Amino acid sequence: MAIALKNAIVYSTLGDCSVCGAPKSRACSTCYVDFYCGRDHQKEDWARHKVGCGAVEVPEGKKWLVAARDIPAGTRIMREVPAISFPKLPSGSEDGCLCRGCFTSVSSTSRCKSCGLPLCRQGCDPDGLHRAECALLEKADFKSKVDKGVVKLGLHASYALTVLRTYLWLNDHPQMHQVLASNMDVDEASLSEVAKAVWHYTRDWLLKELGVLWIVENRLRRALLLAVRNHLLTHKEQPSKGYVMMSNVLLEQACQPNTFSVLSPLDTGLTQHVVLTARLVRRGERLSMDHLENSLMEEAQRRSYLRYSDMQCSCKLCSDPTRLGLHLNSWPCSHCKKGMAVPLPAVGEEEPDARCNNCHHLIPSTEMRAAKSGPLRRLDCLEKVAEKSPWAWAQFLQNELTPVGALHPTHSIALRAKLHFIFAINFVDISLERNEEELIRWEALIRDFLRTLEVLIPGHSCIRNRVLGPFVQVLFGRFLHLWNRDEPDAVCKVPLDEADRLIKEMDVVVSTYKEGQDTLKKIRMQHTMWSAALTMQFTAAP
């Protein structure tokens, strides 16, 4: 028998009404995806809401969420809040001085009187998670192990405490063990090398340092994997705050997923996780997500993150060395000057060699690393100083793309630069008199990027949605030039009609969070203004 989704994730029972935005509205009791202030608004929204309501389930004994029926693209199918929050140390930090309650940085002497862990003030425990770990640590006499009143946990101890917090939460929610039993009941030999290392130091710290001998080992492994699979999730406004979402272990990893998520804050201070379908999902199809949420990430870094998260991916993009012909990590062959040096399958941590798809010459990994080091270094430098200048990014692309530079148009470094270029358009006032030829170049670059994106991540996605906003602004600029030249109304209407279609597409995603709604409202006002001006001109024409 399938497990209902609402019994497999953690959700909020109150939120803004999906029709009028009224706060503290009640959630739909079937799916908890939408909130309504009353029956009238629930009935009014039923035609839209019923498409995703109860459309996802967890088959008993299976690992992944599946579609209970056909689900159209752009459908909200899940809304959840973190099951657990925890302090997240910066990379490379050995100082564990983050408050266990609110996750702010504290002095090394500011600590809980009962267990000795960092705490900004006594009783700081907004979600009650510290109370459970505190009782266990006090019982284990952990406080006496704190060195001269100074808390210095280090990464191993901090991670072990995160796993312990997860373990204690799962014990308080026994139904979640049923959900995770198929997904995470693995023996030590089945863990990835990275997860195995984390498992060893976590188990050793809990058993040897704390002396907590009563912990059930297979349940501790579930807690470990739940924490490991969520290690990339970080609160947007508070990077030191990590959290665990149950859906992260129920959605299969895929670089070309059939779902995507939108993260946005709630008034309660929690971060909600809204999952939508990226394309049509057929009944019985497993639901997948790219948990790394960065399709343009360097391949070596992507492999490293997947290994650390104990996740495997065998999607079409991963199994094709040419990355579906985009050659995200390939370089022009230095031997024949005609083909592309395509990376060979990676083995372990080492960066692979490459082979030319034209002359079949073997290019060593050292040469591949040397080829990308210069453009990558210059990209990193520019990211720090010029993110709001499209002209700086245009200059970078001009210098680095062939024939001047060595980058081909769809290399991941070039695509990252193009994305920065597009985002920088948000900081340009299109209503000012912009050069029309410049706008035409911008429009061509965005269209080219969207075509690449359709191969890389087909359908709806957060990255596509973020590109559409600047694209609409460029279309407004194109309209202004056509209008000022007194072009026929039918010609002027073309960019406005396309902008209207894109605004409707954007609404699928941004309607899930307040900040997006406010941004889209401004764009709609601009569209209405230009459309009204065109209509008035047409009406006034003799």
Residue 540 has pLDDT above 70, yes or no: no
More confident residue, 142 or 183: 142
CA distance 455 to 256: 9
What mean pLDDT is predicted for residues 393-418?
Answer: 94
CA distance 473 to 422: 11
- Of 72-86, 202-216, 228-242, 315-329, least confident by mean pLDDT is 228-242
Confidence of residue 33 (pLDDT cuts 50, 70, 90): very high
Residues whose CB is less than 8 angstroms from the CB of residue 518 and which lie 6 or more positions away in sequence, other chains included: none
Based on DSSP, count helices (H) and strands (E) in the chain, helices before strands.
16, 17
The answer to whether the CB of 161 falls within 8 A of the CB of 88 is no
Confidence of residue 92 (pLDDT cuts 50, 70, 90): very low
CA distance 517 to 155: 39
What mean pLDDT is predicted for residues 109-122?
Answer: 86
Q: Burial level of 146, CB count in 10 A (0-12/13-18/19+)? A: middle
Q: Burial level of 348, CB count in 10 A (0-12/13-18/19+)? A: exposed
Confidence of residue 234 (pLDDT cuts 50, 70, 90): low
Of the chain, the end-to-end C-alpha distance in Å amounts to: 71
Confidence of residue 19 (pLDDT cuts 50, 70, 90): very high
Residue 265 has pLDDT above 80, yes or no: no
Which pLDDT score is estimated for 258?
95
- What are the two backbone dihedrals, phi and then psi, of residue 176, each rounded to the nearest 5 degrees? -70, -25
What mean pLDDT is predicted for residues 529-535?
Answer: 84
Which pLDDT score is estimated for 309?
73
Average pLDDT, the chain: 85
CB-based burial, 482-491: b 16+ in 10 Å, e otherwise: bbeeeeeeee
- Of 184-188, 285-289, 415-419, least confident by mean pLDDT is 184-188
Confidence of residue 268 (pLDDT cuts 50, 70, 90): low
DSSP type of residue 68: S
CA distance 70 to 282: 4
Confidence of residue 213 (pLDDT cuts 50, 70, 90): confident
Q: Which ranges of 87-233 does DSSP label H, i.e. alpha helix? A: 129-139, 154-172, 174-184, 193-204, 217-229
pLDDT in tens, 333-373: 989 989 999 999 877 667 889 999 999 999 999 999 999 99
- Of 263-277, 284-298, 313-327, 469-483, least confident by mean pLDDT is 263-277
CB neighbours of residue 399 within 10 Å: 12
Domain spans in the chain, listed from the N-terminal domain onward: 3-81+271-289, 84-244, 373-540
The answer to whether the CB of 203 falls within 8 A of the CB of 220 is yes
Which pLDDT score is estimated for 93?
53
Tokens at residue 392, please? 């700086």
The residue among 244, 236, 292 whose CA lies nearest residue 266 is 236
CA distance 350 to 360: 21
What mean pLDDT is predicted for residues 59-83?
Answer: 89
Confidence of residue 301 (pLDDT cuts 50, 70, 90): confident
Confidence of residue 56 (pLDDT cuts 50, 70, 90): very high
CA distance 340 to 330: 6
Confidence of residue 452 (pLDDT cuts 50, 70, 90): very high
More confident residue, 259 or 210: 259
What mean pLDDT is predicted for residues 53-72?
Answer: 88
Confidence of residue 90 (pLDDT cuts 50, 70, 90): low
CB-based burial, 64-85: b 16+ in 10 Å, e otherwise: bbbbbeebeebbbbbbbbbbbb
Residue 124 has pLDDT above 80, yes or no: yes
pLDDT in tens, 146-167: 555 555 667 778 888 888 999 9
Looking at the chain, the whole-number percentage of residues with pLDDT higher than 90 is 42
Which pLDDT score is estimated for 297?
79
Which pLDDT score is estimated for 350?
75
- pTM metric for this prediction: 0.86
Confidence of residue 95 (pLDDT cuts 50, 70, 90): low
- Of 33-37, 509-513, 538-542, least confident by mean pLDDT is 538-542
Which pLDDT score is estimated for 533?
82
- What are the two backbone dihedrals, phi and then psi, of residue 277, each rounded to the nearest 5 degrees? -80, 135
Question: DSSP characters for 251-317?
Answer: SEE-SS-SEEEEEEE-TTSPEEEEEEESS-B-TTPBPEE-TT--TTS-HHHHHHHHHHTT-----HH
Query: Hey, CA dihedral for 321, 323, 328, 333, is it positive or negative?
Result: positive
Which pLDDT score is estimated for 510?
82
The answer to whether the CB of 252 falls within 8 A of the CB of 288 is yes
More confident residue, 509 or 303: 509
More confident residue, 418 or 106: 418
Which pLDDT score is estimated for 192?
73
Confidence of residue 501 (pLDDT cuts 50, 70, 90): very high
CA distance 477 to 471: 10
The answer to whether the CB of 386 falls within 8 A of the CB of 392 is yes
